[in-house]
Amino acid sequence: MKSIYLTGFMGAGKTTIGEELGKALQLPVYDTDQLIESNEKMTIKEIFAQQGEEYFRKLERKALKELPVQDAIITTGGGVVLSGENVDWMKQNGCMVFLYAEMDKVWERLEKDQTRPLIMQKSRDEVAAIFEMRLPLYREAQLIVDTTNLSVVESVKSVVDVV
């Protein structure tokens, strides 16, 4: 089967749901951020600090294309949809899934996070503006799951039932 690309905002639960989805479908799970970190031997935070976001986005486009388009679950960084090229790649080669979670839920998880460079020292309003700006990009997905009131198991089931 074609690979499943999990997209969504930071804190939407892509990693947790991805791991469980991998177990449910017995498929390996890959993550674009992890691949970038292992290729560069640097953390995402260090890449942003030393080389900037533009450079990170270039690595992200490259990483996406290095991952298998068949028989895999691929979890992506929240900004993967900023590139139309990435969106086209995911939709043409696999199934692009948008894991939506309400801003309140997302903020609960992100508020104290110190590892995500894009939101460090940002207010809730600033993060909410990024969230709103990206929503139409995520909505390009072939499958949208609103995980706001779902458990991990229920979220996984929502994907498994339709792929």
The runs of H, that is alpha helices, within 81-123 are 84-93, 103-110
Q: Which two tokens stand for residue 25?
A: 């479908």
To the nearest 10°, report the CA torsion of 15, 99, 133, 54.
30
CB closer to ligand S3P out of 1 and 146: 146
Q: Which helix (H) or strand (E) holds 65?
A: helix 44-66
Which stretch in 61-69, 95-103, 111-119, 142-150 sits in contact with ligand S3P by CB under 6 A?
111-119
Determine the size of the site formed for ligand S3P (CB under 6 A).
Answer: 10
The residue ranges of DSSP E strands in 10-55, in sequence order, are 29-31
User: Which positions from 48 through 107 interact with ligand S3P, judged by CB under 6 A?
Assistant: 77-79
CA nearest to 72, candidates 5, 154, 150, 156: 5
CB closer to ligand S3P out of 76 and 158: 76
Q: Which residue is nearest to ligand S3P (CB)?
A: 77
Of 34, 117, 148, 152, which lies in the binding site for ligand S3P, with binding defined by CB under 6 A? Answer: 117
Positions in the binding site for ligand S3P (CB under 6 A): 10, 14, 33, 44, 77-79, 116-118
Q: Which residues are annotated as a binding site for Mg(2+)?
A: 15
